[in-house]
Amino acid sequence: MRTVEEHLSRVLSLGSRLPAEPCPVGDGFGRVLAEDLAAVVAVPPFDNSAMDGFAVRAEDLAVGASLRVVGDIPAGATAVPRVGAGEAARIMTGAPMPPGADTVVPVEQTDQPMGAVSLPESVRVSAVVPLGRHVRRAGEDVAVGAQGLSAGQRWSPAAASSAASLGHGVVPLVARPRVSILATGSELVAAGRPLGFGQIPDSNSLLLSGLCRQWGAEVVSAVAVDDEPANFRAALTEALAADLVLTSGGVSVGAFEVVRQVVEGEVVFDKVAMQPGKPQASGLLTAPDGRRVPMLGLPGNPVSVFVSAWAFARPLIARLGGWDEEWRSVSMLALRGWKGPEGRRQFTPVRITADGVMPVHTLGSGSHLVASLALADGLAVVTEEATSVAPGDAVAVHPVGL
C-alpha cells in the first residue's frame, strides 16, 4: 500500500501550472496573478486633500486669521486657482492641491458652517494646523514604476482595487482550472427522482462539483453514467475537454468496475493506506486534441469521495491554478472515543465545538454515512499507528467547513 504522502506526490506530479491569460481586473477572483504588476500611475496620482476644508499656506495660519477665498476646488476639478499670500481656496476631499498651498485646514476649524454650498469671500481660521497637514502626497502609497503587486498573488476584490489604482484595466491571471466530473454506477438516479429497487440518488457528482467550485475551479460538466464501458468511454472522451477529470466509483475489485475496465493500463490503480479512500486511480489520459489530461479516479463511497477530494483533488486543482495549498490541521480534544483501522490513516468526519470534536455519526467512520456528512466541519486524523481515540485525546483536525 502507498502512504497518503506518496499518493499525494504522485497526484501532484500529474499537473503543472496552467498558462496565464489577460483578464478584466474586476473578474477572476480566486485565480492567481501570473506576473508582477508595476505602478503605471502613482498612488495617489497627485497631491490632494484628505479633508473638506481650505487649502492654505501654513505660514499664513494664526488663530483668528482671515484669508481671502480665491476659488473652489471640487474633486475632479481640472483647473485650480493659485493660492497666494493671505489667500485660501475651498477644497474637497480628493481634490488636487492648488499651486501655492501646502496645508489644508478642515472646515470644522474655520468659521464656515459644514456643508455650506455657496463660496464665502473670506474664511477665518480657528486653529493653527502644522505645515503639510491633511495633504496626501502623490506616490506616497506607491510611486510610479514601483512594484505594486507580486506574481503569485491570489486575485481578490482588494487586489482588483489595488491593480485598478495602479493603472491596470486588464491583468494576466493563471487560467482557472476547468474540471469535468463523471460519477459512475448503474444504480445512480438524479437527485429528487423516485428510486427503483437497488437504486440510490447520485450524490457524488453534486458533492464534487460543489467542492471544486468552492476551491476555485470551474466545473465544465458533471454527469452520471452507468457501468456500461462504452458509455463510460464516450463520457470520458467528452470530459477530457477539461484540465482535470474526476471520476467516482468503479475503481475497486468487483466484477463491474467500469473505470478500471476502461482505463486500466492508461492510469494506475493503487491502494492507499487511508480510510476511507483506499482504492485510488490516477494518471494522464490523452484528450482528442492531443493534450495530456490528469484524471483522478476516486472510490465511489460518498465519504471516500469527500476525503479523497480534500486530500488529493484539492491540491491538484491548486497546482493547476498556481496557488499554494496547505492542508491545515489543528490539534483538538476528542470529546468521544472511536475506533480506527490498523495501518491506515483514518479521516473521521467530526463536528467542531468550542470544547473539542466528536464524530458526526455514532458509528464513527463509515464510508457510506453520507447523510451525516453535512454535519462535518472537520476531518479528524487517526494515525496509521493508532487503532482508537479515547475521550480526552488530542487529535489533529483538518477543517473542511465553508
Ligand X SMILES: Nc1nc2c(c(=O)[nH]1)N[C@H]1C(S)=C(S)[C@@H](COP(=O)(O)OP(=O)(O)OC[C@H]3O[C@@H](n4cnc5c(N)ncnc54)[C@H](O)[C@@H]3O)O[C@H]1N2
User: CB-wise, 297 or 299, nearer to ligand MOO?
Assistant: 299
Ramachandran category for residue 127: left, alpha or beta (phi over 0 → left; psi -120 to 50 → alpha) = beta
Stretch that binds ligand X, among 94-102, 113-121, 172-180, 200-208 (CB under 6 A): 200-208
C-alpha cell at 194: 423516485
Query: Alpha-carbon distance 347 to 340, whole Å?
Result: 9
Query: CB within 8 A of 357, min separation 6: which ones?
Result: 332, 333, 334, 335, 350, 351, 378, 380, 395, 397
User: CB-wise, 81 or 279, nearer to ligand X?
Assistant: 279
Q: What is the DSSP letter of 98?
A: P
Stretch that binds ligand MOO, among 154-162, 169-177, 276-284, 328-336 (CB under 6 A): 276-284
Beta-bridged to residue 28, according to DSSP, are none
**200 is an interface residue for ligand X by CB under 6 A:** yes
**275 is an interface residue for ligand MOO by CB under 6 A:** yes
Q: What is the DSSP letter of 309?
A: I
Stretch that binds ligand MOO, among 128-136, 189-197, 213-221, 274-282 (CB under 6 A): 274-282
C-alpha cell at 302: 460518498
Pairing of strands 274-275, 200-201: unpaired
SS3 128: coil
Question: Which residue type occupies 243?
Answer: D
- 151-190 binders of ligand X (CB under 6 A): 183, 185, 187-188
Question: Which residue in 250, 276, 302, 340 binds ligand MOO (CB under 6 A)?
Answer: 276
Query: CB within 8 A of 123, min separation 6: which ones?
Result: 54, 66, 67, 69, 88, 90, 105, 110, 111, 112
**367 is an interface residue for ligand X by CB under 6 A:** yes
**344 is an interface residue for ligand X by CB under 6 A:** no
**168 is an interface residue for ligand MOO by CB under 6 A:** no
With b meaning 16 or more CB within 10 Å and e meaning fewer, what string describes 46-85? ebbbebbbbbbbbebbeeebebebbbebeeebeebbebee
- 173-212 binders of ligand MOO (CB under 6 A): none
Closest contact distance (angstroms) between CB of 280 and ligand X is: 9
Contact 32, 152 (CB under 8 A): yes
- 242-281 binders of ligand X (CB under 6 A): 248-254, 257, 276, 278-279
* Contact characters 107-146, ligand X, x per CB under 6 A: ----------------------------------------
Closest contact distance (angstroms) between CB of 277 and ligand X is: 7
Query: Alpha-carbon distance 68 to 42, whole Å?
Result: 32
User: CB-wise, 140 or 266, nearer to ligand X?
Assistant: 266
Stretch that binds ligand MOO, among 34-42, 124-132, 157-165, 298-306 (CB under 6 A): 298-306
Question: Which residue in 7, 178, 260, 278 binds ligand MOO (CB under 6 A)?
Answer: 278
Q: Distance of CA 28 to CAs 32, 177, 209, 322, 323, Å?
A: 8, 12, 18, 13, 13
Which residue's Cβ lies closest to ligand X? 300
Beta-bridged to residue 43, according to DSSP, are 142
Closest contact distance (angstroms) between CB of 249 and ligand MOO is: 11
Query: CB within 8 A of 236, min separation 6: which ones?
Result: 182, 245, 247, 262, 263, 285
User: How many residues sit in the footprint of ligand X (CB under 6 A)?
Assistant: 27
Closest contact distance (angstroms) between CB of 373 and ligand MOO is: 13
**340 is an interface residue for ligand X by CB under 6 A:** no
Instruction: Choose the contact partner of 257 out of ligand MOO, ligand X, none; CB within 5 to 8 A by kind.
Output: ligand X
**301 is an interface residue for ligand MOO by CB under 6 A:** yes
Contact footprint for ligand MOO (CB under 6 A):
275-278, 299, 301, 304, 367
Contact footprint for ligand X (CB under 6 A):
183, 185, 187-188, 200, 202-205, 248-254, 257, 276, 278-279, 299-302, 304, 367-368
